[in-house]
Amino acid sequence: GENVEQHPSTLSVQEGDSAVIKCTYSDSASNYFPWYKQELGKRPQLIIDIRSNVGEKKDQRIAVTLNKTAKHFSLHITETQPEDSAVYFCAAGWGNQFYFGTGTSLTVIP
Amino acid sequence: EADIYQTPRYLVIGTGKKITLECSQTMGHDKMYWYQQDPGMELHLIHYSYGVNSTEKGDLSSESTVSRIRTEHFPLTLESARPSHTSQYLCASSSLGGTEAFFGQGTRLTVV
């Protein structure tokens, strides 16, 4: 099956700075790469996703980039705010089958 | 409101007890999943289902079993709970043609 690695496991940034979380995957058949945000005590929720036919996707302050050749993809959050503090999971897969990374705990310091 | 529901939210039980964690969704989704989430965050897929009478094991070896008799219902059963089963269990669902997974609130299980 797919093996997804995620780094860093913890990340602290000052409010207003940017945050970058990186993931690599192993299976070249993967064509769908979602990112989930899990706030403390809450359920994971999809925040952005990208498909393999697209290299970059942006939604307001968040963006995701994908490099299929190198098998890595990244989440970029600009102008971070305290409410961005959460655990972020990347995932990779195809169809309805996808595998999660190990998570990144992001803390935005006011 | 369409959603995915898990009960109970919290459960403390003794070793050796049989328990069933409930998961129901009113979203009309065919595919459902069970994930085990470690205290340190990581999500592990333990079971999934494509529809009624379909059940598959995930990547994480689990002593639990699941059933899918109705589309909206996907319960997970532990025949004999052990302290190693202490964890949070998250149920999720998605449409067969779609990709986004919707998660329930989770059941936090403690086996003493």
Q: What percent of chain A has pLDDT over 90?
A: 84
Question: In this structure, how many other beta carbons lie within 10 angstroms of the beta carbon of residue B88?
Answer: 16
* Span A7-17, average pLDDT: 97
Distance separating alpha carbons of residues A13 and B6, to the nearest angstrom = 34
The answer, yes or no, to whether residue B98 has pLDDT greater than 80, is no
Contact (CB<8Å) B96/A46: no
Residues in chain A within 8 Å Cβ distance of B59 = 1, 99
* Predicted local confidence at residue B70, as pLDDT: 96
If we measure between CA atoms, which residue out of A102, A77, A81 comes closest to residue A91?
Answer: A102
Alpha-carbon distance A106 to nearest alpha carbon in chain B (angstroms): 12
Residues in chain A within 8 Å Cβ distance of B40 = 103
Query: Contact A7/B67 with Cβ under 8 angstroms?
Result: no
Alpha-carbon Rg for chain A in angstroms: 13
Alpha-carbon Rg for chain B in angstroms: 13
| Residue with more model confidence, A94 or A91 | A91
Which pLDDT tens digit goes with each residue over B12-33?
Answer: 999 999 999 999 999 999 999 9
Distance separating alpha carbons of residues B112 and B108, to the nearest angstrom = 13
Could you tell me which chain B residue has the CA closest to the CA of A99? Answer: B45
Contact (CB<8Å) B90/A43: yes
The answer, yes or no, to whether residue A34 has pLDDT greater than 90, is yes
Residues in chain B within 8 Å Cβ distance of A85 = none
| Residue with more model confidence, A95 or A77 | A77
The answer, yes or no, to whether residue B67 has pLDDT greater than 80, is yes
Cβ density class B96-112: b for 16+ within 10 Å, e for less: eeebebbbbbbbbbebe
Could you tell me which chain B residue has the CA closest to the CA of A1? Answer: B59
Average pLDDT over chain B reads 92
Could you tell me which chain A residue has the CA closest to the CA of B91? Answer: A43
The answer, yes or no, to whether residue B61 has pLDDT greater than 80, is no
The answer, yes or no, to whether residue A96 has pLDDT greater than 70, is no
Q: Does B99 touch chain A (CB under 8 A)?
A: yes
The answer, yes or no, to whether residue A85 has pLDDT greater than 70, is yes
Question: In this structure, how many other beta carbons lie within 10 angstroms of the beta carbon of residue B90?
Answer: 25
The CA-based angle A81-A37-A83, given to 5 degrees, is 20
* Span A69-75, average pLDDT: 96
* Predicted local confidence at residue B60, as pLDDT: 78
The length of chain B, given as a count of residues? 112
Distance separating alpha carbons of residues B57 and B76, to the nearest angstrom = 12
* Predicted local confidence at residue B95, as pLDDT: 86
Amino acid found at A15: E
* Predicted local confidence at residue A11, as pLDDT: 98
Between the two ends of chain B, the Cα-to-Cα distance in Å is 36
Amino acid found at B64: S
If we measure between CA atoms, which residue out of A1, A23, A19, A22 comes closest to residue A11?
Answer: A19
Residue A97: pLDDT band (50, 70, 90) is: confident
* Predicted local confidence at residue B40, as pLDDT: 67
Token look-up 């899918």 returns B68
